[in-house]
Amino acid sequence: MKTVAVISTRGFGVFRHDLLIEPEQVRFVGVFSEQDSANVSDTERAYFHEIHVVACGLDDPSYTESSIVDPAATREIVRRLVAEAEAETGSAAENVTLHCFDERNLLLTAELREEFGLRGPTYDELLPYRDKCLMKERLAGTGLRVPKFGHFDQDAFAADAAACLDAIVADVGMPFVLKPVDAASADGVYKIFTPEEFLALPRDLGRSYEYEEHIDGTMYSVNLVTQDGKTVFGGVTEYLVNSTEVQKGKVNADINLIDSDPRVPRMVEFAEIVLDALGRLDGGSHLELFHTKDDELVFLEVGARFKGLAGLAAMQENYAVALLNLAFEIEAGVRSRPWDQEQMYCFDAVIPKRPGVVSELVDPAIESDFAIKWKAEVGEEIGQGASLIDNGGTFLVRNHDYEVLYSDFERLAGYEPIRYED
């Protein structure tokens, strides 16, 4: 029997256990932080053989960081799983696999694979997909357009913020973007449009940052699944707004482009060049880029994971492909039957949170079918969303008619889902 250990619920919720060809031959083990364990559904609890709840890896985590698992506790759980597999089968390497679709736990998962001799990406193989400076450095010589960037000098900033600003502007211009080198979901990202915004920043940002040129363009994500160095699935989604705009109250909707759209093959090829430069990894990947008004593609960042939130659920319905099952088949040899539900064009959206008391929750005025999962309620006082994960809700929009669906996507540009008391 194979033991499949999943670290963190994030990105896992759309797995179709009912599609497994031999479910009795797979033992699922979950390792989740205390905060994250609340996200385990009743359906998942029914097929997990073991669920381990460990402390969060941070003493005072933000909502976005709350899924980080305690390394020591997680290590001991994996150690026991490996010992049990070796006692039962004589080989843990063939019968135990570790999986993670949560950006913040990817490197720990890689470290544990190396430590216990399990297959899958190692720490060094994953690092270029986590370190935003390293990934851009690796793209030198590919011919792809990469924003100008540099390492943010925290000491220089604390000593003389004005001089630090002058040096950054001389390098990449104004406006520019500050982001943690290991950020995800727009967590901790600052767009700097004026000197006053920069000088108002805390003198200690609390983590390693980079600065990079601000690119004006439409954002897209390219989502690939790789097996043995080859692309076995490729799709492109268009963003209604850039991710950091969600913090300002804009709905973040991502529509999956129809395969006949000429943007799709061009952007898939762009992503494949990036993955080849970084070192192709089996499984899912999620790359973001800009398409400028001058018809230029500009790299933003890439992760060795699928899209998060409702994005992966929308992709699976839109393409009628059980993408997470496909990843488990590639990474663990756990086979599944094909997608068995009706194909419908589908996109997802994230509802922003702003500070205030909620007076009304407003459904979108669109023609397509939609389903909303609200995370706010009337009368509740809510705070500013710190990232895409810290939101007021998510929703999926579905339609058999792609043109109607795309029109509804564009209508959401003016949609205000949460109204607040004056």
pLDDT for residue 226: 97
List the domain boundaries for the chain.
2-120, 148-213, 218-420
Query: Within 13 Å, how many C-alpha atoms sit on residue 259's CB side?
Result: 7
pLDDT of residue 354: 85
- Across residues 227-253, what is the average pLDDT? 84
> Sorting pLDDT into bands at 50, 70 and 90, what band is 185?
low
pLDDT of residue 245: 65
Residue range 324-347: average pLDDT? 96
- Yes or no: say if 270 and 143 are a contact pair by the CB < 8 Å rule: no
Mean pLDDT of 70-97: 93
Q: Is the Cβ–Cβ distance between 372 and 341 less than 8 Å?
A: no
CATH fold of the domain at 148-213: Dna Ligase; domain 1 (3.30.1490)
pLDDT band at 396 (very low <50, low <70, confident <90, very high): very high
Q: Backbone phi, then psi, for 284, in 5-degree steps? A: -90, 150
Q: Is the pLDDT of residue 23 over 90?
A: yes
Q: Per-residue pLDDT averaged across 135-149, rounded?
A: 96
Confidence of residue 204 (pLDDT cuts 50, 70, 90): confident
The helix (H) or strand (E) run that includes residue 88 is: helix 71-89
Q: What would the pLDDT profile of 156-179 be if each residue is shown by its tens digit?
A: 999 999 999 999 999 999 999 999
Residue 277, SS3 per DSSP: helix
Share above pLDDT 90 across residues of the chain, in percent, rounded to a whole number: 81
The span from the CA of 364 to the CA of 351, in Å, is: 11
pLDDT confidence tier of residue 309, bands split at 50, 70 and 90: low
Which CATH number fits the domain 2-120, given the four candidates 1.10.3470, 2.60.40, 1.10.760, 3.40.50? 3.40.50
Closest C-alpha to 349, from 331, 330, 363, 334: 363
Q: Collapsing DSSP states into helix, strand and coil, what is residue 118? A: coil
Please determine, looking at this structure, whether the domain spanning 218-420 carries the CATH number 3.50.50.60: no
Confidence of residue 384 (pLDDT cuts 50, 70, 90): confident
pTM, full prediction: 0.90
Q: How confident is the model at residue 244 (pLDDT cuts 50, 70, 90)?
A: low
